[in-house]
């Protein structure tokens, strides 16, 4: 802006004093003092340079670092989510396999229990048959003994009666 004012002022001096006095009058009416404006523009440029160099650059660098950390964190979160999903699938597969294995074990236990029960039943039937056979032999033996006793008694009674 300062350069355009100076350019206008130079152009006005080249075209005559009347135009220069018009610009000077406008500058006086608005309270524009070119040396003060130039000093303020220079001060502003120095302050801007110092702020840019020592304030904005470090803050922007810190923001960039934080943005990078955030993006790394998001990537890590996504990777963790993927690993979590894979772990969930793996655990579901392990549970399914364990369930199938448990079912096999239960079926095998039922089979063994049934075989054991059948074996025990067959053994019980066999023992019952043996016991029945022994009881019949015992009854037969008792029957013979009784008949022998009865014969002996009958023979003794016949002898006694005769």
Tell me if residue 16 falls in helix, strand or coil.
coil
Q: In angstroms, what CA-CA distances link 73 with 4, 46, 68, 79, 125?
A: 51, 39, 8, 10, 75
pLDDT value of position 11: 55
Q: Is the pLDDT of residue 128 over 60?
A: yes
pLDDT at 155 (0 to 100): 87
- HSE-up (13 A, CA, CB side) for residue 4: 1
| pLDDT, mean over the chain | 88
Q: In this prediction, what percent of the chain has a pLDDT beyond 90? A: 65
Kindly report, residue by residue over 32-51, the tens digit of the pLDDT: 888 898 999 999 999 999 99
The three-class DSSP label of residue 33 is coil
In this predicted structure, the answer to whether residue 119 has a pLDDT above a threshold of 70 is yes
Task: pLDDT band for 115, please (50, 70, 90 cuts).
Answer: very high
In this predicted structure, the answer to whether residue 6 has a pLDDT above a threshold of 60 is: no
Q: Which residues contact 13 (CB under 8 A, 6 or more apart)?
A: 19, 20
- 8 A C-beta contact, residue 35 and residue 6: no
Q: Mean per-residue pLDDT for 21-32?
A: 82
Task: Provide DSSP, 92-146.
Answer: HHHHHHHHHHHHHHHHHHHHHHHHHHHHHHHHHHHHHHHHHHHHHHHHHHHHHHH
């Amino acid at each position: 802006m300062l350069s355009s004012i100076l350019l206008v002022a130079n152009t006005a001096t080249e075209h005559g004093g009347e135009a220069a006095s018009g610009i000077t009058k406008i500058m006086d009416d608005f309270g524009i003092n070119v040396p003060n404006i130039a000093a303020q523009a220079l001060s502003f440029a120095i302050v801007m340079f110092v702020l840019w160099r020592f304030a904005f650059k470090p803050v922007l660098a810190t923001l960039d670092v934080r943005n990078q950390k955030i993006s790394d964190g998001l990537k890590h979160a996504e990777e963790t989510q993927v690993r979590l999903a894979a772990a969930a699938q793996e655990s579901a597969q392990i549970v399914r396999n364990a369930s199938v294995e448990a079912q096999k074990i239960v079926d095998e236990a039922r089979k063994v229990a049934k075989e054991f029960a059948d074996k025990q039943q067959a053994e019980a039937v066999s023992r019952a048959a043996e016991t029945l056979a022994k009881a019949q032999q015992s009854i037969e033996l008792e029957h013979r003994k009784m008949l022998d006793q009865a014969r002996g008694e009958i023979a003794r009674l016949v002898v006694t009666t005769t």
